Structure 1
Amino acid sequence: VYSRSRADHVVHLKAVFEVLRKQSLYAKSSKCSFGQSQVEYLGHIITSEGVSTDPSKVRSMSEWPTPTTLRALRGFLGLTGYYRKYVHNYGIICRPLTDLLKKDAFRWNEEADQAFIALKHAMSNAPVLALPDYTKEFIVETDASLTGIGAVLMQGSRPIAYFSKVLAPRHRGKSIYEKEYTALLNAVDKWRHYLQYKHFVVKTDHHSLKY
């Protein structure tokens, strides 16, 4: 239960307890903590400043040895993938690694090693993401490159989440206009739970997408 002040927190907790009481539901006391300035939830650290990665998970990623098997690589990508919303262009950065997951394709090379190091660095320097404020305007900023598309959901100058996706080879020959438009469609669909039925701003550097 998130509240902006201690007084609000008391009011909010009373409301929650009243609902639990009416529905004959119980909360285990050992699983509850109240009046906390910081909460760990499903591998994320939530504070008044925003949401950040769990330091213990980041440590595991930074200490992960160079994968020598497909299973080890999948483990690393599974761990980093859980935090992909913290990393700008995550999908594009790890493309050399995901390419190795294809059948009979596991051959560690320099490109994979560079991606492995870059991904570790990105995870170690992940930003604190802003908590969404539904009273403020959302901003979607899109981008496209030769091999992929990306976007960031923001409020003001602070990121709430990043999105990126590697384009299939058959789509890489499309125009920048088509790629930017694809990035926008994918981003709006991914973040529709934030954007649906709300006015939001789209930022793009492609003039033909403006109106």
Structure 2
Amino acid sequence: NAGATYQRAMTYIFHDLIHKIMESYVDDLLAKAKKRCDHPEVLRVILSRLIEYGVTLNPEKCIFGVTGGKLLGYIISSRGIDVDPTKIRAVLEMVPPSNESGVRSFLGKLGAIRRFIPDLSFAIHPINNLLKKDYSIDWTKDCNEAFEAVKRFLLSPPTLMPPKLDHPLILYSRATNVSLACMLAQEDDNKRERVIYFISRTLLDYETRYTQAE
């Protein structure tokens, strides 16, 4: 597997720099510095390492001195982690689906950005039900309300905060009769609570018979 081999090579070359002054994701290299004045030295170290191992870069794909950029489908900046606007637009431009393929397409698009949406499984439960064996693709009022509610939320999605390993984490959880959800958060340097991650899932049939405490 070429991708896995390349990743192993990058990890070998930059093992002492990864998670400190850079990140490596297959063929994407990210150099990082907290202060602009430190960035040239970070670049010097990384470029020297590339020269040492005979690795070349494509100048047309290199960007230097920026405060943010797209990485792994997200927008990374000093603000935090934002969802790629193209993924938001893909959802906002959808019309209510009329068949199973359309429902799966809508849910698939949400799956790619679900970490930005609180209690998503509960919000789209009427739509998820359409894929059950004993349900037909009957787009009800509840389905449409769920569809429009998610689209309204995505007009102003939250910016997520990368976790700080030396700060305590805060976990909020919620259980309903159809889903489980939680929010992982942390206080930033200004003591403001910031979201790190939203996660949720639909209960399995046998789990719906548990009490809420269970």
Whether the TM-score (by the shorter chain) exceeds 0.5 is yes
CA distance in 2 between partners of 1:99 and 1:19 (Å): 53
Structure-2 residue corresponding to 1:186: none
Give 1:5 shift. Answer: 1.0
| 1:83 and 2:109 matched | no
Preserved contact between residue 50 and residue 128 of structure 1 (Cα < 8 Å): yes
Per-residue CA shift, 1:139-198, capped at 9, x if unaligned?
Answer: 2222212221111111111001100111112112223322xxxxxxxxxxxxxxxxxxxx
More RCO (CA 8 Å, sep 6+): 1
Structure-1 residue corresponding to 2:202: 166
Other structure's SS at 1:105 match: coil
Q: CA RMSD in A?
A: 1.8
Structure-1 residue corresponding to 2:150: 119
1:29 alignment partner, one of 59, 76, 80: 59
Structure-1 residue corresponding to 2:104: 74
Other structure's SS at 1:172 match: helix
Overall identity of the aligned pairs, in %: 28
Give 1:93 shift. Answer: 1.2
- Between 1:85-94 and 1:124-133, the stretch displaced more is 124-133
Other structure's SS at 2:154 match: helix
Q: Which has the larger radius of gyration?
A: 2
CA distance in 1 between partners of 2:39 and 2:104 (Å): 41
CA distance in 2 between partners of 1:62 and 1:106 (Å): 21
CA distance in 1 between partners of 2:33 and 2:163 (Å): 13
Give 1:55 shift. Answer: 2.3
Per-residue CA shift, 1:74-119, capped at 9, x if unaligned?
Answer: 2221112100000100122122212212346322111211111112
Q: 1:2 to 1:98 in 2, by over 3 A?
A: farther
- Between 1:35-44 and 1:78-87, the stretch displaced more is 35-44
Structure 2 unpaired stretches of 5+: 1-30, 188-192
**TM-score scaled by structure 1?**
0.77
The number of residues matched between the two structures is: 178
Structure 1 unpaired stretches of 5+: 179-211
Preserved contact between residue 52 and residue 127 of structure 1 (Cα < 8 Å): yes
